[in-house]
A = this chain, B = another copy of it.
Amino acid sequence: MTDKSDNGALRVPERIVPVPAHASAQARAMLSQPVPPKAQYPALDDAAGWKAHIATMDANVATMFAGRLGDFAHTLTEWREEGALAYDIRPEHWSDADRRVYLYIHGGGLIMGAGEVCKTMTLASTGSYNVRVVSVDYRMPPDHPYPASLDDCMVFYRALLREYQPHQIIIGGGSAGGNLAAATILRARDEGLPLPAAAVLMSPELDLTESGDSHQTNAGLDSMGSLMQANLLYAGGRDLTDPYISPLFGDMAKGFPPTFLSTGTRDLFLSNTVRMHRKLRNAGIHAELHIKEAAPHAGLGSGPEDMEIEIEARGFCMARWAGR
């Protein structure tokens, strides 16, 4: 039975949580998959161990995103700027007269997702937008802890500001990409740069301290576990509550653009997303919250529930680019 301990904590008994019958076939298949074994993280100083771990995880992510990859005709060129690397992706028939640009920041727990995985994630997420996308292949741990990743994102935001008006730029990303998208905005603002037109934060990893209630309530419901060891590797000894490391703790009242946020009811990052939405709304900033029934962090197998949210996000971006 449910019970309380002396400090008010809830004791929630073991239970069996069925796959919801009303979910789509793809979602039910996703939710029925065996739970993968929890990742065994290397020690923080074991760089070789981390690299092996990252290679394994990258292979998994590449497989997951490959199924989401539409057939979007495009050109992709490498863009090197101040030592940082991005992919400059332009759809077929694109012209420079189209002044919309999406600065995309890939996910991967702030340690994974470089190179080919970055390209795959970018196209799967933004290929249908039919706009120019600049996707940052930012440096990461173990070789490059904070602030290398954020520095690289800043390089390309500054570069885009030389080519575009701020209201033509949208910054977005999922998971760790949501962290870096928000951190880029906070740091750009603090450095006196103008804000972009909008932010898109899909199941964002906004709080590396993992203080949100859903880290507890959705533990075991989301096959993703705590990422704390990776968070510590990323922070490299810095305070995890630094707003550039955990953007949830930023002061939104000092300025933040209109923001699209999405998550799922089983997502370990449900609280990250909900708390950011409340902070933005409390600061008087336009912010939209969209939540997928029964979805864990990884989504619902690219089924219709995932596609609905992609359509919402794209519609939000198109409205922002149109100045609405």
Contacts and interface: CB of A to CB of B under 8 A. Distances in A.
Interface string A201-225: 0000000000111101111110100
Majority-rule SS of A interface residues: mixed
A162 interface: no
A8 B308 CA distance: 24
Contacts of A34: 4
A11 B16 contact: yes
Contact of A15 (B12, B21, B281): B12
A272 to B, nearest CB: 10
Contacts of A3: 35
Given A17-B9, A17-B12, A274-B265, A294 B213 contact: yes
Contact of A35 (B4, B16, B274): B4
A291 B274 contact: yes
Given A8-B19, A9-B17, A291 B294 contact: no
A169 B275 CA distance: 32
Interface residues on A, range: 35 or more
- Copies of this chain assembled into the complex: 2
B8 A28 contact: yes
A192 interface: no
A212 B14 CA distance: 19
Contacts of A33: 8
A13 B17 CA distance: 11
Nearest to A305: B278
Interface in A19-42: 19-22, 28, 31-35
A216 B15 contact: yes
Nearest to A23: B213
A157 to B, nearest CB: 29
Q: Which 3 A-B pairs have the closest CB atoms?
A: A8-B32, A213-B294, A12-B220
